[in-house]
Amino acid sequence: MKTKSVKEPIRKKWIWVLLFINTLLIVPWYFPKSAVEPFIFGFPLWAFVSTFFTLVLGAYLSWLCLSQWNIVEDEEENAKGKGDVNHG
């Protein structure tokens, strides 16, 4: 029996560990009171760092969707190619 490779995010621990670390870096609990200056692009230092990691989160999630998720895609796309997919 041929086992096809299924990619499902829930099965990969590293995805969730990184996601958790990323979240810890977004929330500004770890900054000292003085982390206001310098201002970078008009953002106080802490806010700039937090926003940077928020953007990292968006990029990471977007990448995860596209590259770590493949369960029935091949099947569906093959079927579509043959014209016999008819949902609904």
Q: Does 78 bind another protein (CB under 8 A)?
A: no
Q: Tell me if the bond preceding 38 is cis, omega within 30° of 0.
A: yes
Q: Which helix (H) or strand (E) holds 75?
A: helix 73-82
List the one residue from 27, 81, 83, 84 that touches another protein (CB under 8 A): 27
Check if the beta carbon of residue 85 is closer than 8 Å to that of residue 76. Answer: yes
Q: At what angle do helices 45-67 and 13-26 cross, to 10 degrees?
A: 160
Site for another protein contains 35 (CB under 8 A): yes
Q: Which residues bind another protein (CB under 8 A)?
A: 3-4, 6, 8-10, 15, 19, 23, 26-29, 31-36, 39, 41-44, 46-47, 50-51, 54-55, 57-59, 61-66, 69-73, 76-77, 80, 85, 87-88
